[in-house]
A and B are shown apart, each in its own frame.
Chain A
Amino acid sequence: MSVKAYAGVMFDVEADVADWTHRELDRLTGGIPGGETGNYLKVAVYHYSTSNPDHQGCAAHGSNDAKALDSALGRLNELRAAVENTFGQGAAPEILLIGMDTDVDALRIHVPDADGEINPARNVCNASLYRETLGMPPETARRHIDAALARAEGISPCSPGMRPPHPCLAGGESVADRVRDPAPRWTLRGDRP
């Protein structure tokens, strides 16, 4: 797993193609345990602000949420195209686009379709899922999340490997509560009666 941040998510496609190539070489020479059937996942995370979208969004894109989303998605698609143009159809890594609301640390997950293509309109928000599932028994909540994903996927479900991470991303749900209600729920030793 590796992480590198770029202003406005404008990551270097050429560097990523080189990274993908090195990892693929590692994989094909047996350097990655269990890598025979695995794939490379590239995740881009843009951000926005629901409380003040015109001023507190991504500064690199002039607080324009649509531009931030389009630019991040554009880079992801450029990476796929670059790998496919060089190494052939079907070689491209899988991609995932995530939007983060910096007001409450909520995640908007743009679900890819069966071909790995991302449509900005196909998304699920973990803060909404959290609100909807509050008080539900775990099994009911899981079914609710599955149903929400199925609605977002529509007639073109994402790849089976892509599906499990989404409920896990909803694992950050309680973070939204903590951000909204930052009152400490613990007592410092000196404050104890």
Chain B
Amino acid sequence: MHKIKNTLSKNPAAYIFALYCISRFVILIAILFTYIFKEEKNNIFDTFCINDCRSYLEIAENFYVKSDYNIFVIQTSVSTVKNEEIQGEFSPFQVHKNYAFFPALPILIALSTKLLSLGHETTAVILSQSLALCGMFLFHAFSKIILPENKQRHALWLYAFWPFGIYFSLPMSESLFVPLMLAVFLAVRHGHWGLAALLVIPLSATRSSGFFIVIYLLAEALRQFGWRALLRLEPGTEKAILAFATSGLGLGLYMQYQYYLEGDALAFSHMQSAWWRFFTFPWVTIIEGATPFLSDASRLPSQIMETLIWLCFLVALFKSLRSQLRSECLFLLALLIFPSFTGQTLSLVRFSGVAVPLLVILAERLDTADVIKRARLYALFAFCLWSVATFLRINLTF
């Protein structure tokens, strides 16, 4: 036992791996717990595969299938009907919804499937777990930017038991988005702009909002080079400018592909209407989301919860703009404000959960030598554990 403790304290990689195993074990228990109480016990994989996971697997298996695409029908048929009414086999929602899901993760699943010669589902689980582990290592490297050594492990604990972290180890866009985002942060912070220019391409092909990384790149470039150097294109700034330009390339390539397939380069955006997402102002989203007579009563508790969590994140990010991670917080603010223009609180919790730089700031402010504050930290862990189970329950019963 003493030997294990010694190894873990001396070897950060072993420590991260051990923490990863413990946290995934907790999540596994939460999933099994959910499976036991699930009414329909068809397949245990369905318990892992929540929300958008099934769509990503479908794309990985068949890629995007050209079909009788008609955005007018889609938009008009979903503008007034409810969820249960658009679940028919031939519903335009069912036929075309996959266009809304970006291709980076499905491509990675498909390639890994060929490489491992396993089924899509098994590969997706292995891949997402590997990405989660990779994310933990990247997070640790990222936390070193501002944290002293004694606080880096607290940050790791917070990351490992981050309640929203459940999505980081499921076959969903977050599992790829978070490691890529952290990798971009690291590359830029260490001045490797060429590497950042490459990493932002898959980032914007993982999720449309990945394009907002350009805000981060701009903020960091201004901090590192100054606006005069950028405007004059002084030597050393060209890779940063290249990174600005490539930040939309993943999205652009996907749009090009959709144009080739269906003649609609904006199909990914148009299909958002299948989830009742239309352009509106954030205050409308909040008011309608939390007002009983303006929204579906059965969704109201989730909507209020989603809105509150989202608002908490917004406040935390605004307050963190004074920290050393200002550029990261600026990007995350854009990432969180963007979905509030869609008129839907749907998935806001998932979108908020990627704000992991906040954990570094939180770890920096936690003084663990104080007994009361340490107790608070444990309470926070308990809350995280409880949340993992609760979120799973909500996601499965919703």
State yes or no: do A and B come from one complex.
no
Q: Which residues of A contact B (CB under 8 A)?
A: none
> Which B residues have a C-beta under 8 Å from some C-beta of A?
none
